[in-house]
């Protein structure tokens, strides 16, 4: 394993850091999954239809299957009276043909009987006016249809042999329904990333612990695991490592044994005396440490441990989430084979002024729609330990590098925290 140390004071921009971490991951190999597990997964190969959908011409309405010629001139004044020779329900094959002067009652989804080419819906006949219990032996058509009305042709939705879904398609509920309709019950999709999560710090205790002086509860393992799930991965919990190289090393090894595709660590990558994660990573593999010009979340590490990519996030609970959203989320989506990985943004207008240090700032805001426009306000105090403000926020307003102040009423770009990536991509 090559080892190198990048100067610790290296300051890089968010876009440059993102490009570097994305270079480090590839779409994961394929696995076959049943349709019930396929939601949100991405196809690795195209899917072809073996048969037409619908497989046979069928009725789109409840009504009467007729010959167009018979009823072309029907009107209220001159109704066309047809003899009803039978009926056909969805799920059954018609037993009779429609001969001139006759009709067959037909239900939605039932096959069009031989001889018929058009379906006249009940509303265009005297059926709704009929008294209960009156004979169904004849029906009068009161409105002329167009030829072929209410007939769904075989192959109208999908033609046999056609590629129904391309490789790279993200499977949404409608794609899953389409696959079921063509008889495809399992698909070849990119594997879900297994993401091993490690919190580091002597101060950390599990959430069910009583707090003593100096100790805090581990928030990051839980928020990061939830983010991994939110973006389609499977978390592997490596627990809390003490600030010793030994503990960190042995927990990372557990992640390797569990088959992790990606490591997420939190804390220990800044400049403090006990930021030992850096030491371990330097010794274990190729790791770069950067000070990314962003707020919250300056320190960031990226590299490989035994060939597995590792993203080292800052320790502050807000910084770790915001940094994950900028760097971890797109890595995960790329591993899942998703092509649409940009966090959705909206153009908004500020309702109040915002000050900035000049770094790219992700301000926790509430975005509200007012008529045609989105308006943003601070969601609360912006300290990077104040997780509650992120809980009140639905967006991250981006103040670009170099901007020291944004006035009220100025246009801004806001990342929407809970919008799916696909809203901003062509399907
Ligand atoms: P560090 O990156 O180690 O300097 O940590 C920055 C801050 O984040 C410190 O106040 C830590 O106590 C806090 N912190 C680190 N890890 C966690 C965690 N897993 N949950 C909550 N806070 C944390
Ligand atoms: Mg620490």
Q: What is the CATH number of the domain that holds 413?
A: 2.40.340.10
Candidate of 211, 267, 278, 311 to mutate for ligand 1, largest count of ligand atoms within 8 Å of Cβ: 267
Q: 157 CA distance to ligand 1 centroid (A)?
A: 55
| Cα 301–Cα 417–Cα 407 angle in degrees, nearest 5 | 95
Atom of ligand 1 nearest to the CA of 220: 19
- Residue 353 pLDDT greater than 70, yes or no: yes
**pLDDT given at position 274:** 64
- Residue 275 pLDDT greater than 80, yes or no: no
Please give the C-alpha separations between residue 280 and each of 20, 239, 260, 269, 303, in angstroms, as whole numbers: 21, 17, 18, 11, 12
- Residue 3 pLDDT greater than 70, yes or no: no
Residues 372 and 246 grouped into a single domain: no
Confidence of residue 361 (pLDDT cuts 50, 70, 90): very high
Q: 150 CA distance to ligand 1 centroid (A)?
A: 65
For residue range 36-88, list pLDDT tens digits in order.
999 999 999 999 999 999 999 999 999 999 999 999 999 999 999 999 999 99
Burial label, 157 (beta-carbon count in 10 A; 0-12, 13-18, 19+)? middle
**pLDDT given at position 6:** 47
46: nearest Cα among 158, 177, 163: 163
Rg (C-alpha) for the chain, rounded Å, is 31
- What percentage of the chain's residues is helix, strand, coil (to nearest 5)? 20, 35, 45
Structural domain contains residue 340: no
Percentage of the residues of the chain whose pLDDT score is greater than 70? 96
Structural domain contains residue 207: yes
Query: What's the predicted TM-score (pTM) here?
Result: 0.88
Would you say 198 and 248 are in contact if contact means Cβ atoms under 8 Å apart?
Answer: yes
For residue range 64-77, list pLDDT tens digits in order.
999 999 999 999 99
Domain of 175, in residue numbers: 38-53+158-190
Residues 310 and 235 grouped into a single domain: yes
- The whole-angstrom separation of Cα 381 and Cα 398 is 16
Atom of ligand 1 nearest to the CA of 203: 12
Domains of the chain: total: 4
On average, the pLDDT of the chain sits at 93
**pLDDT given at position 280:** 80
Q: 103, 134, 152: which is the final residue of a domain?
A: 152
Q: What is the mean pLDDT of residues 320-336?
A: 98
More confident residue, 413 or 287: 413
- Note the ligand closest to the C-alpha atom of 218: 1
Residues 225 and 247 grouped into a single domain: yes
Q: What is the mean pLDDT of residues 14-24?
A: 94
**pLDDT given at position 174:** 97
- The whole-angstrom separation of Cα 254 and Cα 236 is 10
Q: 123, 152, 181: which is the final residue of a domain?
A: 152
Reduced to 3 states (helix: H, G, I; strand: E, B; else coil), residue 328 is: helix
Q: What is the mean pLDDT of residues 218-243?
A: 97
| Residue list, ligand 1 pocket, CB within 6 Å | 199, 201, 203-204, 216, 218-220, 266-268, 270, 272, 314-317
Q: Strand (E) positions, 293-356? A: 294-295, 299-305, 308-313, 345-350, 354-355
- Give the closest residue (by CA) to ligand 1 atom 6: 315
Q: Is the peptide bond before 409 cis (omega within 30 degrees of 0)?
A: no
Q: 275 CA distance to ligand 1 centroid (A)?
A: 11
Residues 184 and 210 grouped into a single domain: no
Candidate of 219, 289, 315 to mutate for ligand 1, largest count of ligand atoms within 8 Å of Cβ: 315
Atom of ligand 1 nearest to the CA of 272: 4
Q: 353 CA distance to ligand 1 centroid (A)?
A: 30
Atom of ligand 1 nearest to the CA of 314: 2
């Amino acid at each position: 394993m090559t080892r190198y140390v990048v100067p610790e004071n290296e300051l890089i921009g968010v876009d440059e850091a993102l490009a570097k971490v994305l270079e480090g991951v590839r779409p994961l190999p394929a696995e076959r999954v049943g349709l019930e597990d396929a939601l949100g997964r991405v196809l690795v190969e195209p899917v072809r239809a073996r048969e037409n959908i619908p497989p046979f011409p069928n009725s789109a309405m409840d009504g009467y299957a007729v010959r167009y010629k018979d009823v072309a001139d029907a009107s209220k004044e001159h109704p066309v009276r047809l003899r009803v020779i039978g009926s056909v329900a969805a799920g059954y094959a018609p037993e009779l043909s429609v001969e001139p002067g006759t009709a067959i009652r037909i239900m939605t989804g039932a096959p069009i009987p031989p001889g018929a080419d058009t379906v006249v819906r009940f509303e265009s006949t005297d059926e709704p006016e009929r008294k209960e219990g009156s004979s169904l032996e004849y029906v009068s058509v009161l409105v002329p249809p167009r030829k072929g009305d209410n007939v769904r042709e075989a192959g109208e939705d999908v033609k046999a042999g056609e590629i129904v879904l391309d490789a790279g398609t993200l499977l949404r509920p409608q794609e899953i329904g389409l696959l079921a309709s063509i008889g495809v019950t399992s698909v070849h999709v990119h594997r879900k990333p297994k993401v091993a999560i490690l919190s580091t710090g002597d101060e950390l205790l599990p959430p069910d612990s009583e707090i003593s002086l100096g100790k805090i509860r581990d928030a990051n393992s839980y928020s990061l695991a939830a983010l991994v799930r939110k973006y389609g991965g499977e978390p592997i919990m490596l627990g809390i490592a003490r600030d010793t190289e030994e503990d960190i090393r042995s927990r990372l090894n557990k992640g390797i044994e569990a088959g992790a595709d990606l490591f997420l660590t939190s804390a220990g990558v800044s400049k403090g005396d006990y930021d030992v994660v850096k030491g371990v990573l330097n010794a274990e593999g190729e790791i770069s440490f950067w000070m990314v010009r962003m707020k919250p979340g300056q320190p960031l590490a990226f590299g490989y441990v035994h060939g597995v990519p590792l993203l080292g996030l800052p320790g502050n609970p807000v910084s770790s989430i915001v940094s994950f959203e900028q760097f971890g989320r797109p890595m995960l989506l790329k591993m899942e084979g998703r092509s649409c990985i940009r966090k959705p943004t909206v153009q908004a207008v500020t309702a109040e002024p915002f000050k900035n240090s000049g770094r790219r700032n992700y301000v926790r805001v509430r975005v509200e729609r007012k008529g045609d426009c989105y308006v943003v306000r601070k969601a609360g105090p912006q300290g990077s330990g104040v997780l509650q403000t992120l809980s009140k926020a639905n967006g991250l307003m981006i103040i670009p590098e170099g901007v020291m102040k944004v006035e009220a009423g100025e246009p801004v770009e806001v990342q929407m925290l809970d919008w799916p990536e696909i809203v901003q991509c062509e399907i």
